[in-house]
Amino acid sequence: MDTGTTKWIPVPYFQINQEGTILNSSHITHSYFHTTSNIWNIIHKEDRNKAIIMVSQSANSDPMTKHLILQTRDKLFGNFKCTIQWKGGIGHLVCTEVKSVKGLTPLSVQRPLVNTQKRLEESEKK
């Protein structure tokens, strides 16, 4: 896909390689996520195994969709429905925010994660 066209995709969109390096992204991506060079920097550690499965798909495979917890621009975590399709060694990844997941509210997930993050930040200061 033309990199000029990629910038105007109206949802958070990444082009990545098999290591997770971000090769290109849409402009709107930056209003959801902090600027980073690697997709692994925004995936919550508990969802890394699901993401590994997505990234390890073979080239030109069928699209794969998983719900992932991603760190947003404001350093909180949110639920996202992420779909990836590989073509020519490039992963085309679209992540759209999910307001709620059946049986799991974003706040019920977010509070413990925020508390854990605060404790980690405090322990790093010591």
β strands within the chain, DSSP E: 13-16, 22-25, 64-71, 77-87, 90-97
The two beta strands, 90-97 and 13-16, are antiparallel
Our count of domains for the chain comes to 1
CATH number of 89's domain: 3.30.450.20
> Where in the sequence is the domain holding 86, given as residue range(s)?
3-125
Percentage with pLDDT > 90 across the chain: 56
The band of 64, judged by pLDDT with boundaries at 50, 70 and 90, is: very high
pTM here is 0.74
What local confidence, expressed as pLDDT, does residue 71 receive? 94
